[in-house]
Amino acid sequence: MALNGEPQVVVLVGGVGGAKLAHGLTQTLPPENLTVIVNTGDDFWHYGLRICPDLDTVMYTLAGVVDKVNGWGRAGDTTTMLDALRGYGEDAWFRLGDQDLATHVLRTTMIHGGERLTNITARLAAALGVRVRLLPMTDAPVSTMLDTVEYGELEFQTYFVRYRWQPTVKAIRYGGIDMAAVSVEAQAAIAAADLILIAPSNPWLSICPILSLPGMRDLLLARAVPRIAVSPIVGGKAIKGPAAKLMAELGYTVSPPTVAAVYGAVINGFVYDQRDTEVVITEVETTQMDTVMQSEHDRAVLARRILEWALRKTS
Ligand code: FO1
């Protein structure tokens, strides 16, 4: 426990779904008690800029400036630059808003200046008023690559945005992962955590890149604290995005037990939705809740219920 008597919580997240749970946690915990570790496997270079979509989605959500319709990008953003690119005949398939561009320009400038992504993120997040600790999973470049039936191997954003996650996926790899280290900041946060959460993000596209960092699983397993994942599969479907489609393509049953099995020994507790009535999971302690976060109130309620359950249970 921290000096303020509240638990120190680390949450592993991807983009939109993870950002919602992280936001719910900020409504329940003091900012100094929360560390959000974000997937960076979806980062890429685009028009010479380093874009970190999941990091930015979480940062904008926690700063209260996210576009609430899309769940990513900045609210009220314009697309003057994008329209100008199209005027040059560019396809411009990745919608970069004008305000959002400022984030990428600054980040890229700092990267070229030799700054670590961890420090860059801290500076950008602080300027936007984010008070919790927001950490990229690593400072090294990692690229989630999808081997598809239709197009061969695709970089994540090409698969996800350009082809709207329609290609059939045969295999996934995390390029550069062997050379990527868990940052000292992420290591310290995990070492000090009273509770480790895995958000209802896509297991293969958002969470497994984090868990695949060299040493990460051992860091988590070394902590005799509740380590709890929340299922992103509700009623046989993904709440958002390609999780269910991907699961089926990779040969798995689309169900909460598959998610729990993918995390294996990394978790000792699992939350799945109350709508899933015929689920049997024996390997870890489980509980059911309403996990669908439609409103900001839902986020706070889910976050509080998870904390109450996690801190009541023994690991
Ligand atoms: N998602 C889309 O579906 N279409 C886009 O054009 C798009 C642009 C975009 C720009 C900045 C940013 O931070 C995120 C953006 N996203 C877009 C979302 C993002 O690519 C995905 O949601 C995540 O990478 C998946 O976790």
Instruction: For residue 162, report the distance from its CA to the centre of ligand 1, in Å.
Output: 10
Q: What percent of the chain lies above the pLDDT cut of 70?
A: 98
Residue 1 within any structural domain of the chain: no
Residue 61 within any structural domain of the chain: yes
Ligand 1 atom having least distance to the Cα of 93:
6
Q: What is the pLDDT of residues 233-290, one digit of tens each?
A: 998 889 888 999 999 999 999 999 999 999 999 999 999 999 998 889 999 999 999 9
Q: Is 14 in the pocket of ligand 1 (CB under 6 A)?
A: yes
Q: What is the pLDDT of residues 116-133, one digit of tens each?
A: 999 999 999 999 999 999
Residue 118 within any structural domain of the chain: yes
Q: Give 136's strand partners.
A: 38
Give how many domains the chain has, as a whole number. Answer: 1
Instruction: For residue 78, report the distance from its CA to the centre of ligand 1, in Å.
Output: 15
Q: What is the pLDDT of residue 313?
A: 57
CA angle 73, 42, 242 (to 5 degrees): 85
Ligand 1 atom having least distance to the Cα of 39:
26
Q: Is 95 in the pocket of ligand 1 (CB under 6 A)?
A: yes
Domain, as residue range, for 136: 9-314
Q: What is the pLDDT of residues 142-151, one digit of tens each?
A: 999 999 999 9
Does residue 158 surpass a pLDDT of 70? yes
Residue 79 within any structural domain of the chain: yes
Q: What is the pLDDT of residue 60?
A: 98
Going by pLDDT thresholds of 50, 70 and 90, the confidence category of residue 3 is low
Does residue 2 surpass a pLDDT of 80? no
Instruction: For residue 54, report the distance from its CA to the centre of ligand 1, in Å.
Output: 8
Q: Look at ligand 1, atom 22, and give the residue with the nearest C-alpha.
A: 15
**Cβ-based neighbours of 245, under 8 Å, separated by 6 or more:** 165, 238
What average pLDDT score do residues 12-22 get? 96
Residue 45 within any structural domain of the chain: yes
Instruction: For residue 72, report the distance from its CA to the centre of ligand 1, in Å.
Output: 6
Q: What is the pLDDT of residues 175-214, one digit of tens each?
A: 999 999 999 999 999 999 999 999 999 999 999 999 999 9
Q: Look at ligand 1, atom 12, and give the residue with the nearest C-alpha.
A: 53
Around Cβ 123, how many Cβ atoms within 10 Å?
Answer: 14
Query: What pairing do the DSSP bridges indicate for beta strands 269-273 and 227-230?
Result: parallel
Whether the CB-CB separation of 254 and 248 falls below 8 Å is answered with yes
Q: What is the pLDDT of residues 69-95, one digit of tens each?
A: 999 999 999 999 999 999 999 999 999
Residue 217 within any structural domain of the chain: yes
CATH number at residue 272: 3.40.50.10680
Q: What is the pLDDT of residues 103-115, one digit of tens each?
A: 999 999 999 999 9
Ligand 1 atom having least distance to the Cα of 60:
13
Q: Is 96 in the pocket of ligand 1 (CB under 6 A)?
A: yes
Q: Look at ligand 1, atom 24, and give the residue with the nearest C-alpha.
A: 53
User: Whole-number mean pLDDT of the chain?
Assistant: 96
Q: What is the pLDDT of residue 315?
A: 46
Ligand 1 atom having least distance to the Cα of 156:
24
DSSP 273-288: ETT--S----SSEEEE
Whether the CB-CB separation of 53 and 15 falls below 8 Å is answered with yes
Residue 67 within any structural domain of the chain: yes
pTM: 0.97
Q: Is 204 in the pocket of ligand 1 (CB under 6 A)?
A: no
Residue 69 within any structural domain of the chain: yes
